[in-house]
Amino acid sequence: MPALEVSDVSVRFGGTHALQNVTITVEEGSVTGLIGPNGAGKTTLFNVVTGLLSPTGGRVSLHGRDVTAAAPARRARLGLARTFQRLELFTSLSVRDNIRVAGDIRNGWGRSHRINVAKETERIIELTGLGDIAGRDVADIPTGRARVVEVARSLMTQPTVLLLDEPAAGQTEQETEVFGVLLGRLADSGLAICLVEHDMSLVMRVSARLHVLDYGQILAVGRPEEIQNDPAVIAAYLGGAA
């Protein structure tokens, strides 16, 4: 059973189909890439999955449970977390406090499965390689590192499914290399990751499977090597003639 399953999801804004009968699956213990041109509907799909946007049709399931009508907070409690294309951090707080606040919020969900916030914060700082800047204000760190802070903060909610919206934007080549290793480590721990990213070298390197969106519809699904050689994908997104 997939950790996340999106089945025949459609979204319409007036007469425009932002998404049309989109189906994707995200498996535990792997990275699933979601790629496509700007405006293809990738962030719209993330908004549907997280409950920020109601679909016109279709269904969203987490671990086999239908959450199509569930509120965003309910989905978070069931193990769903995400980052945003535009950085959403507390710039007046330190890196450590940005991460810690997510743990405090999580513990506020209820008495069951509470975590030791201080201990878990330090574990995630080490896991994500943020130890050298943990005490600095987020406003004072480079964008590429701030992207990792947002991922680290998401991890504090103890998710089983993690949606990442262009997490490598603003990263240097070296930072992206390190980030790819982190994604592999997170997947190996059992986390289900759905990655939206325009850095094709990163996507192809870390993804076990790719879904390609074009004009709100799934254009292709397959392993990275299959997608790279798909004539329709080459014409629509990767560049070149079909």
pLDDT of residue 180: 97
Provide the number of structural domains found in the chain.
2
**CATH number of the domain residue 70 falls in:** 3.40.50.300
* Residues 50 and 101 occupy one common structural domain: no
What DSSP character marks residue 132?
G
Give the C-alpha separation, 171 to 219, whole Å: 28
Domain end residue (candidates: 157, 186, 205): 157
Q: Are residues 67 and 109 in the same domain?
A: no
Last residue of a domain, one of 110, 137, 157: 157
| Cβ atoms 223, 208 nearer than 8 A | yes
pLDDT attached to residue 175: 95
- pLDDT for the residue 239: 58
One domain, residues 240 and 165: yes
Instruction: Please tell me the predicted confidence (pLDDT) of residue 241.
Output: 44
Is there a single domain that holds both residue 163 and residue 236?
yes
Residue 64 and residue 164 share a domain = yes
* Confidence (pLDDT) at 113: 76
Same domain for 34 and 145? no
pTM of structure: 0.92
- Cα distances from 225 to residues 52, 75, 98, 222, in angstroms, run 33, 33, 38, 8
Same domain (yes/no): 3, 74: yes
**Same domain (yes/no): 68, 171:** yes
Tell me: do 27 and 105 sit in the same domain: no
**Contact (Cβ atoms closer than 8 angstroms) between residue 66 and residue 59:** yes
**Beta sheet of 16-26, edge-to-edge order:** 16-26, 4-13, 57-62, 65-66
- Among 157, 183, 214, residue at a domain's last position: 157
Query: To which H or E segment does residue 106 belong?
Result: helix 95-107
Residues of the chain predicted below pLDDT 50: 241-242
Residues 5 and 71 both lie in one domain:
yes
Please give the pLDDT value at position 197. 94
Domain that holds residue 191: 1-79+159-242
Same domain assignment for residues 122 and 174: no
Would you tell me how many other CB atoms lie within 10 Å of the CB of residue 192?
26
Same domain, 69 and 172: yes
- In this prediction, residue 23 carries a pLDDT of 98
